[in-house]
Structure 1
Amino acid sequence: MQKLKERILEEGVVVSNDVLKLDGLLNHQVDPELTMDMGREFAARYAEEPITKVITVESSGIPVAFATAITLGVPLLFARRKKTLIAEPDALTERVPSFTKGIVTDIMVSRQYLGEQDRVLFIDDIIANGDAARGLIKIIERSGASLAGLGIVVEKSFQAGGRTLREQGIRVESLVRIASLAGGKVTFT
């Protein structure tokens, strides 16, 4: 998506050779028009799939996942990162590290909302090492649902996440792929 690339070049802040801050358009403030464009693009790329739900991990993936779900006309389900007092005691849970947050958290999905009748499209904002993606894929597999593929807004191709998922035979569609953040400059593949 050319528009997304332009916005990343205008508003993205290269924090280090591994970290790109996209708070102004994706992770803190959300541009509704751009978000809907991204959702429509993912929906178009997976139009041939019989998707029953869109799934994501709380919280930065929610806006784009919502835009995709509304375009496809299916529910949105998100894995929670925090256990609440009303959480299901036997929820599907996986422990995952977060590359950008530098912490390990549990992600959980209620068994009530994900089952063998579902074919899900997993949408996320950024993929680096792919730990959160692998964790949610394990939850999807344990639920009996099938995974149509992943839609990633920004893939950092210089990190292993997208590549290792593709090597496992998982379809990964990225709107933009970043080859490098070296020298404080965003270089796309």
Structure 2
Amino acid sequence: MEQLKQRILAEGVIMTNEVLKLDGILNHQVDPQLIMQIGRQFALLFASEKPTKVLTIESSGITVAFATALELKVPMVFARRKKTLTTDDDSYCERVPSFTKGIVTDIMVSKAFISKEDRILFIDDIIANGDAARGIIRIIERSGADLVGFGVVVEKTFQAGARTIRDLGVRVDSIVKISSLDNGIIAFE
């Protein structure tokens, strides 16, 4: 998607050779029109898989997952990172490291919202090492649901995350692939 690439070049901030800050596009400020275009793209890519739910992790994946679910006309579910007073104790839970936060967190999905009858499309904003994605995959497997695919807005191909997910036999489709952040330059595939 050329528009997304141009926005990444204009607004992305390279923090290190491994970290790209996209706060003005995906993670803090959101462009609704761009997010809806991305959601439509994911819906087109995965419609033939007939997902019954779109699943993501709070918080940065929510807007794109919502746009995708809206286009597919299915519910969206998000994995919580923190237990609240209203969090259902009957939840699937996985402990995962966060690449950008530098901490280990629990991700939780209530058993009330995914079941063995579901065909789950997992949507996320960025994939680096893939730890959170593998945690979501374990939750889906434990629920008995079918994982029909994983859509990611930005795949950093110089990190192993998406490759490790593909090695599990999961279909991974990325809107944009970044091959390098070396020398302060964003290089696309």
TM-score range, shorter chain: over 0.9
The one-letter amino acid of 2:167's match is E
Higher alpha-carbon deviation: 23-32 or 83-92: 83-92
Structure 1 segments of 4 or more deviating over 2 A?
none
Q: Which residue of 2 aligns with 1:72?
A: 72
CA RMSD of aligned residues (A): 0.6
Provide TM-score, normalisation by structure 1.
0.99
Aligned 1:33-182 pairs, distance under 5 A: 33-182=33-182
Sequence identity, in percent? 66
Secondary structure of the equivalent of 1:123? strand
Task: Report the alpha carbon displacement of residue 161 of structure 1 after superposing the two structures with TM.
Answer: 0.4
Task: Report the alpha carbon displacement of residue 106 of structure 1 after superposing the two structures with TM.
Answer: 0.2
Q: Structure 1, unaligned stretches of length 5 or more?
A: none
Task: Report the alpha carbon displacement of residue 50 of structure 1 after superposing the two structures with TM.
Answer: 1.4
Deviations 1:103-143 (A, max 9, x none): 11000000001000100100000000000000011001101
The one-letter amino acid of 1:59's match is S
- Give the Cα separation in 1 of the matches to 2:3 and 2:18: 23
- Give the Cα separation in 2 of the matches to 1:71 and 1:52: 12
- Give the Cα separation in 1 of the matches to 2:66 and 2:86: 23
Aligned length: 189
Secondary structure of the equivalent of 1:116? coil
- Give the Cα separation in 1 of the matches to 2:54 and 2:70: 9
Provide TM-score, normalisation by structure 2.
0.99
Deviations 1:137-169 (A, max 9, x none): 100110111100100000000000001111111
Q: Structure 2, unaligned stretches of length 5 or more?
A: none
Task: Report the alpha carbon displacement of residue 90 of structure 1 after superposing the two structures with TM.
Answer: 2.5
